[in-house]
Amino acid sequence: MSEAPIVSIKNLSKYFGRFAALENVSLDIQAGEIFALLGPSGCGKSTLLRIISGFETPSEGELLLDGEDLIPLKPNKRPINMVFQSYAVFPHMSVEDNVAYGLKMEAVASKDIKQRVAESLAQVHLTDFSHRKPHQLSGGQRQRVALARVLVKKPRLLLLDEPLSALDAKLRDAMRLELVKLQEAVGITFVIVTHDQSEAMAMADRIAVLSEGKLRQVATPAELYQRPVDAFVADFVGTIHAFDVVSVSISESDINKPLTITTNELGELVCPPSIAADSIFIDQGVSQLAGQSVLAVRPEHIELHLEAPHNNAAINQSSHGRAQLMGRLGDIAFQGQHSIVEVMLDGRDSLTAIVSNTVAQTLHQSGHGSPIWASWSTANMLLLPNHALPA
Ligand SMILES: Nc1ncnc2c1ncn2[C@@H]1O[C@H](COP(=O)(O)OP(=O)(O)OP(=O)(O)O)[C@@H](O)[C@H]1O
Ligand SMILES: [Mg+2]
């Protein structure tokens, strides 16, 4: 992505009194992408969207659209439209009139209005519903009317704040796909706000993860999952089981050599250096790693055994070893394609492992509470700064 970005945000902050809703946020949005703002409630997602739309002014920083300063422009002068969470449609107007409304306000010639409305309704598959009133539509159809109302204005940028949150789960899944298809068809850049990681992962080309007003990471969904910058991001975009790091030994002369990492629960493990987040080598001295980083594993990488897996010395000598823990079999939840199995541990929270239904069946026969061993390759672990773990 080397072209000039459509939106460029530089060192942007927003204070409400002394409270920083956004702190020194810098990011670029590329033309034609679906860009998601993801983070827990109160992290500043809507505030950032409102600043882009012009309903809020930043306290500090720059906001450029196609290289031009947007901040002095009033909301209605920006080539930007917003779809709100409670998608507002006029109840007394037909679908067609709802979509035409914005163009009439702009005094567009009526034959152009007719054509553009027809085009927008076709884009959202509502051509046959043009004469209905909103109360004669389903929730998903009303949401599509709201989309047509903004698409008809052909914005450069479409901002969507939790656009699917008013829909039930099944419809939400269907609308995710529809929104992605629609975006591909119209080619307008979408910035979508969500606190639902699966929604962001399913829809976005790139995701910005925010927490407490700070930008944590901007990356593709796969990068976020596989190369999270810290424990907060890793935990927010999926599940991790984290173990506090007691010590790490890194070969100072060759950082490509395996790391020896010690945690209280797992003992000493040999790990490939590729499991370390970039910042571990850049701004964290080895001496600072202890107490400030975690060694983490995701549930899909954990294997379960009814007998102790033998400690293969040859494996432990190689660039990576296996971690191993003994516990007791907890609950088993059938999930359709796989099962989630709980491993109860002494003195710490349970682990969960995602295993095949066949494995789950075998475990089930041995009975709740029976001894069970969890093991995984250290090559599948993540060494992450933990300074940002949520409370
Ligand atoms: N006008 C305001 N005055 C004071 N504080 C505000 C104002 N608007 C937002 N905030 C605060 O700024 C923080 C960020 O709010 P924002 O609405 O951006 O969160 P969000 O990430 O969209 O959360 P949610 O997922 O709950 O919608 C919150 O702590 C909120 O209370
Ligand atoms: Mg919000």
Q: Would you state the pLDDT for residue 314?
A: 42
Question: How would you classify residue 228: left for phi > 0, otherwise alpha for psi between -120 and 50, otherwise beta?
Answer: beta
Q: Measured from the CB, is residue 211 less than 6 Å from ligand 1? A: no
Would you say residue 154 has pLDDT above 50? yes
Residue 309 has pLDDT above 60, yes or no: yes
Choice between 201 and 257, residue whose per-residue pLDDT is larger: 201
pLDDT in tens, 80-108: 988 876 667 899 999 999 999 989 998 89
- Compute, in angstroms, the gap from residue 44 CA to the centroid of ligand 2: 7
pTM, whole model, 2 decimals? 0.88
Q: Tell me how crowded residue 106 is: count the other CB atoms within 10 A of its CB.
A: 10
The answer on pLDDT for 380 being more than 50 is: yes
Mean pLDDT value across residues 51-55: 95
Q: Which residues fall within 8 angstroms of residue 181, CB to CB, at 6 or more apart?
A: none
Say what the pLDDT of residue 250 is: 76
- Tell which wins on pLDDT, 268 or 164: 268
Q: What is the pLDDT of residue 353?
A: 97
The answer to whether residues 231 and 242 touch, using CB atoms and an 8 Å cutoff, is yes
Residue 319 has pLDDT above 70, yes or no: no
Q: Which atom in ligand 1 lies closest to the alpha carbon of residue 193?
A: 22
User: Which DSSP category does 17 fall into?
Assistant: T
Amino acid 389: pLDDT: 47
Across the chain, mean pLDDT equals 89
How do 189-194 and 157-161 pair as beta strands? parallel
Q: What angle do CA 372, 373, 376 make, to 5 degrees?
A: 145
In contact, 109 and 168? CB cutoff 8 Å:
no
| pLDDT band, very low/low/confident/very high, at 376 (cuts 50, 70, 90) | very high
Does pLDDT of 1 surpass 60? no
Q: 388: pLDDT confidence band, cut at 50, 70 and 90?
A: low
Q: Is the CB of 41 under 6 A from ligand 1?
A: yes
User: Residue 241 has what pLDDT?
Assistant: 96
pLDDT in tens, 205-255: 999 999 999 999 999 999 999 999 999 999 999 999 999 999 888 766 677
319: left (phi over 0), alpha (psi -120 to 50) or beta: alpha
pLDDT band, very low/low/confident/very high, at 387 (cuts 50, 70, 90): low
pLDDT at 391: 45
Please tell me the residue having the least CA distance from ligand 1 atom 27.
Answer: 41
Asked if the model's pLDDT at residue 287 lies above 60, the reply is no
* Mean pLDDT value across residues 111-115: 95
Kindly give the distance from the C-alpha atom of residue 195 to the centroid of ligand 1, in angstroms, as a whole number.
Answer: 13
| Res 188 pLDDT > 70 | yes
Ligand 1, closest atom to CA 16? 4
378 lines ligand 1 (CB under 6 A): no
Predicted confidence (pLDDT) at residue 356 exceeds the cutoff of 60 = yes
Q: If you measure from the C-alpha of residue 44 to the centroid of ligand 1, how many angstroms do you get, rounded to a whole number?
A: 6
Mean pLDDT lowest for which of 16-20, 122-126, 215-219?
122-126
Q: Are strands 214-219 and 206-211 parallel, antiparallel or unpaired?
A: antiparallel
Kindly state if the Cβ of 208 falls inside 6 Å of ligand 1.
no
Ligand 1: which residue has its CA nearest to atom 20?
A: 42
Ligand 1 pocket residue status of 322, Cβ below 6 Å = no
The pLDDT value given to residue 165: 80
Domains of the chain: 7-230 (3.40.50.300), 232-385 (2.40.50.100)
Quick one: average pLDDT of 322-348?
94
Angle of helix 169-186 relative to helix 110-123, nearest 10 degrees, comes to 130
In terms of C-beta distances under 8 Å and separation of at least 24 residues, what long-range contacts does 246-250 make, across chains too? 246/290, 246/291, 247/289, 247/290, 248/286, 248/289, 248/290, 248/293, 248/383, 249/286, 250/286
Name the residue of 25, 37, 46 whose CB sits within 8 Å of the most ligand 1 atoms, as the mutation to test its pocket.
46
Task: Indicate which residue's Cα is closest to atom 7 of ligand 1.
Answer: 16
Report the alpha-carbon distance of residue 183 to residue 192 in Å, rounded. 12
**Ligand 1 centroid – CA 149 distance (Å):** 27
Mean pLDDT of 273-293: 72
Taking the C-alpha atoms of residue 98 and residue 88, their distance in angstroms, rounded to an integer, is: 10
Specify whether the CB–CB gap between 193 and 43 falls below 8 A: no
Ligand 1 atom having least distance to the Cα of 49: 18
Looking at the predicted structure, is the pLDDT value of residue 330 above 70? yes
Read off the tokens for 4. 């000039």
Residue of minimum CA distance from atom 10 in ligand 1: 21
> Which residue has the least CA distance to atom 19 on ligand 1?
42
What is the reported pLDDT for 315?
Answer: 44
**Residue with token string 């600072």:** 288
The predicted model gives 276-299 an average pLDDT of 76
DSSP letter at 126 equals -
To test the pocket of ligand 1, the residue of 23, 25, 43, 195 to mutate (highest count of ligand atoms within 8 Å of its CB) is 43
Cβ of residue 47 lying under 6 Å from some atom of ligand 1: yes
**Mean pLDDT of the 189-211 span:** 94
